[in-house]
């Protein structure tokens, strides 16, 4: 649209911008539609079934565009809407699975074993390649583990993205809900100890205004509990960074001094401004 308007302005193109171009531009600006989980129960359990795990209507249609058999389509204008797969006709070419930028398509093949169909998934963790026999955890669209199964086959895509194809056998009751893999073992982790690190008085809290820890610490010990007051006194937080660095550091100082953060009034965010001389507003030139 912008290119056509520039060409017209320069006199090298007299054609109007097509109305459908502007309509599509407006569509692309819209927010995603409401989230809706796929209706897995409605997908047949015969032949090869592409399972589309998309949950929102977004302007994304490569899966429908690449499907030579017309099995995957997007209702309506062909751009917005959740892709839908026909009940039959899929030949298992894997084009939709490989092209989906969200890795949101899997194939379930019931032809050889309907009770334990083969599920084909995309895999792009390059530093952890999988091979036949590796145990992987199958997860649903929410990341919840469904089952642990061995890999029955892999293949590397020749496409530029180097997507790996991973095939597993899954129980019939779970196969359509398999949306991903978990390869990392679950770990029990403990959080860092909640002990504030002591910072010396000459350390800088606000780099923009060169305010030290000692200045802030003295105000805290004098009884101040409002970051807005501290900002007004020291200018800490008035710099170009917009209070990004000094606020968490100052809250840490309150904790060091034994003050509960529930008792602290946090900073009121304000837009950055630049001091402007009155001469500029008056339209005066330098030295006038």
Q: What is the model's pLDDT at position 194? A: 60
Q: Is residue 25 very low, low, confident or very high in pLDDT (cuts 50, 70, 90)?
A: confident
Q: If you average pLDDT over every residue of the chain, what do you get? A: 88
**Most distant CA pair in the chain, distance:** 90
- Structure tokens that stand for 283 in this block: 């339209």
SS3 category, 237: coil
Per residue in 211-233, pLDDT (tens digit) is: 999 999 999 999 999 999 999 99
Pairwise pLDDT comparison (188 vs 32), residue with the higher score: 32
Handedness of CA 154, 159, 163, 169 (dihedral sign): negative
116: tokens are 């334990």
Q: Which of 88-97, 128-137, 170-179, 190-199 has the lowest mean pLDDT?
A: 190-199
């Amino acid at each position: 649209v912008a290119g056509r308007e520039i060409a017209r302005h320069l006199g090298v193109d007299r054609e109007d911008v097509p109305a459908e171009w502007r309509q599509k531009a407006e569509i692309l600006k819209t927010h995603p539609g409401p989230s809706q989980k796929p209706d897995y129960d409605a997908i047949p359990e015969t032949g090869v079934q592409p399972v589309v795990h998309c949950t929102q209507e977004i302007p994304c249609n490569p899966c429908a565009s690449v499907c030579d058999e017309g099995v995957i389509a997007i209702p309506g204008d062909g751009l917005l809407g959740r892709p839908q797969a026909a009940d039959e006709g899929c030949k298992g070419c894997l084009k939709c699975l490989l092209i989906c930028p969200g890795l949101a398509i899997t194939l379930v093949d019931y032809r050889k074993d309907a009770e334990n169909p083969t599920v084909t998934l995309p895999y792009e963790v390059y530093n952890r390649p999988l091979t036949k026999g590796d145990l992987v955890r199958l997860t649903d669209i929410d990341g919840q583990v469904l089952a642990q199964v061995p890999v029955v086959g892999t293949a590397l895509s020749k496409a530029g993205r180097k997507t790996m194809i991973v095939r597993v056998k899954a129980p019939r009751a779970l196969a359509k809900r398999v949306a991903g893999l978990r390869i990392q073992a679950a770990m029990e982790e403990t959080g860092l100890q909640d002990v504030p690190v002591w910072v010396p008085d000459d350390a800088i809290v606000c780099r923009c205004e060169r305010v030290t820890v000692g200045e802030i610490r003295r105000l805290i010990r004098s009884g101040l509990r409002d970051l807005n007051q501290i900002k007004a006194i020291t200018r800490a937080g008035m710099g170009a960074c917009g209070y990004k660095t000094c606020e968490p550091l100052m809250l840490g100082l309150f904790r060091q001094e034994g003050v509960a953060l529930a008792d602290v009034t946090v900073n009121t965010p304000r837009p950055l401004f630049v001091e402007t001389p009155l001469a500029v507003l008056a339209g005066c030139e330098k030295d006038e």
